[in-house]
Chains A and B, each alone.
Chain A
Amino acid sequence: MNPPSWNSGNAAKVREELLRRVAEPDTVDGPLVRSDPRRSVAMQWPAILVTAVVLVAVVALSLVAVRLSGDRELPATTGGSSPAVLQDSSPPEQTLPPGKVLGRFTSEDGPNQDHVLRPNGLALATQFICTGEGKYSVFTSGGTGESGDGGCSGGGVGAGGGGVNGTSHVKIRTDPDMTWTYTIVGFTPPKHITPRPIATPTTTGGEPVPYCTGDDLSARFDRISAAAASAIGYEPSGEITFTNTTKRTCALAGYPEVRFLDDGKPLGHNTMNQIDPRRSVVNGLRAVILAPGGSAYSQVNWYKPGDNKQEGPCVARAVTSVDVDLHYDLAASGQTGRFTVPIGRATACLNGAHGALGKYGQIMSTVFVAYSLNQER
């Protein structure tokens, strides 16, 4: 007897539906976490540290928000399925690599979702990406924070903290016609890294140098030429150069916080910095000294459509300027300044080629690097 074949009318329908889904352009499905071979493992630690700081801040802010609003409880499930338990299969005591995806839900799961997650002692970070029209809310309770809510109009990204330790209950409420992905990523809290105090920058002669403020500086963006890119070995997206326009010497340390702007409003939440560990706070901060007229630059990178194609999809968006904040991790230093820097016409993957966390973010910046004429402490 011939083995049965599947050639019913339903098979044809399934085939048609599959091909429709395949032919859809990249949205938010696909791999969210992949290590980037261009960067060493050692370089991830500072990013994790920053991530932890950001997460703590997000959690703290959201706790305040919860307390202020008081009535953030979401409506009861309507027709939703019973909570599914997602548990990482690793033993609880195991240290998972940063960026490990603990849970992932999509619009195919339906508009109202309740889930119980066990982060195995790891902190959680979450990302919600949507396309289409509608409203969403994502609520993480039982842990220490919430994720957020908002509207999705032709594309949107949300991010936030989630539970740490124990059991977290995640409620996802979305409009039915929206396409969305909600990802929960765990990472290892970098307990053993303690930032060292920031040393006062000095000149080679030992003179103390004040940190630069926004009034001292001008900022501009330069795209990196193909030749320069090949000399570096991979293609950065460009450099933001800061020039001391005053007659006094000032210092820049750390790295700028950079995010894409759309009509003056920040796009997305996942701006992350890529720190050279030799210069970062982890090993003691090294400042760049800017004499009058002197310059330093920070290299900025983002994923463009076509980059690392095998790594997955890209939520592409046209971008024309970035918001640059020098204050970011140096609140205590007095280093301030905020600039809006045009970057020409560019296209960026707003989800990052990698997804939700840290160096997987949308745009990355390096620590300030002195041009060779300037002195470095």
Chain B
Amino acid sequence: MADEQADWRAAQAHDADAFARIFDRHRDAVFRQALRVMRQPADAEEVASAAFFELWRKRSSVQLVGGSVRPWLLVTALNLARNSHRSRLRHEVFLRRLEREWRDDAGLDAFSRIDDAVDRESLIAALKRLSPQDAALVTMTALDGYRASEIAGLLGISPGTARVRLSRALARLRGLLTPMTEAHSGSQEVAR
């Protein structure tokens, strides 16, 4: 990640090429994170865009994890999705110019299952019921491979607290996902 640290320092000093490398390195991950909590891909695009605008706006205070800005972006994307009204308002002028080209259902189909073994709709519904910190812990550890202790600082909690909260959140998430899955398969059996 030494490269990214150098790129980030250069980007902070207005090196657009360095910022482009950072954008390209993380755009898909940030978009995926946004898709985990926004039903409409167009909304996810807004959230992902706002996360990158925030990265630039808050460049002086962004906390790196393992030399990377990615965890900060992922947490920020979740928070932006949560507070979509207030936080995205900041970038509204630009975001309004984006095309809502994902509105058609054909585009949506490609994302019907974004992560293995979890139905997208169920995951979105379940994540919404977790606190923002817990949602970040769950998505970033389970789906992005971060350790809870690594991202604890970003969330403003201690590594120990992060581990405890992650295990509780996972238990809660399991509880939230299981009945829905069962109900789903049950209705399938009836159809058969």
| Cβ contacts under 8 Å, B19 to chain A | 18-19, 22
Residues of A within 8 A of B97 (CB): 13
- The stretch of B29-37, B68-76, B122-130, B169-177 in contact with A is B29-37
What per-residue 1/0 map shows which CB atoms of B97-113 lie under 8 Å from chain A?
11101100000001101
Which of B86-94, B146-154, B158-166, B181-189 contacts its partner?
Answer: B86-94
Contact status of A9 and B99, CB under 8 A, knowing A17-B94, A18-B19, A24-B14: yes
Q: Which of B31, B60, B98, B114 contacts A312 (CB 8 A)?
A: B60
B23 touches A15 (CB 8 A): yes
Is the pair A6, B14 in contact by a Cβ cutoff of 8 Å? no
Complex CA gap A309/B102 in Å reads: 42
Instruction: Check: A81 CB closer than 8 A to any chain B CB.
Output: yes
Expressed in whole angstroms, the minimum distance between the Cβ of B1 and any Cβ of chain A is: 19
Q: Is B13 an interface residue (CB 8 A)?
A: yes
Which B residues touch A21, using CB under 8 A?
53, 56
What's the minimum C-beta distance from A208 to chain B, rounded to whole angstroms? 52
Q: Between A and B, how many residue pairs show CB distances below 8 Å?
A: 93
Does A109 interact with chain B (Cβ within 8 Å)? yes
Please tell me if the beta carbons of B89 and A81 are within 8 angstroms of each other in the complex.
Answer: yes
In the complex formed, the residue of A with least CB distance to B100 is A10
Does chain B have a CB within 8 A of A233?
Answer: no
A37 at the binding interface (Cβ < 8 Å) = no
Contact between A11 and B86 (Cβ–Cβ < 8 Å)?
Answer: no
The reply to whether the CB of B28 lies closer than 8 angstroms to some CB of chain A is yes
**B residues engaging A (CB < 8 A)?**
9, 11-16, 19-20, 23-24, 27-28, 30-32, 35, 45, 48-49, 52-53, 56-57, 59-61, 86, 89-94, 97-99, 101-102, 110-111, 113-115
A residues whose Cβ falls under 8 Å from a Cβ of B:
1, 3-6, 8-11, 13-15, 17-19, 21-26, 29-31, 81, 84, 106, 108-110, 309-310, 312
- The contact sample of 22 A-B pairs, CB cut-off 8 A, is A1-B113, A4-B32, A4-B35, A4-B111, A5-B28, A6-B30, A6-B48, A8-B101, A10-B101, A11-B45, A14-B45, A14-B52, A15-B23, A21-B56, A22-B16, A22-B56, A81-B86, A106-B57, A110-B89, A309-B13, A310-B12, A312-B60
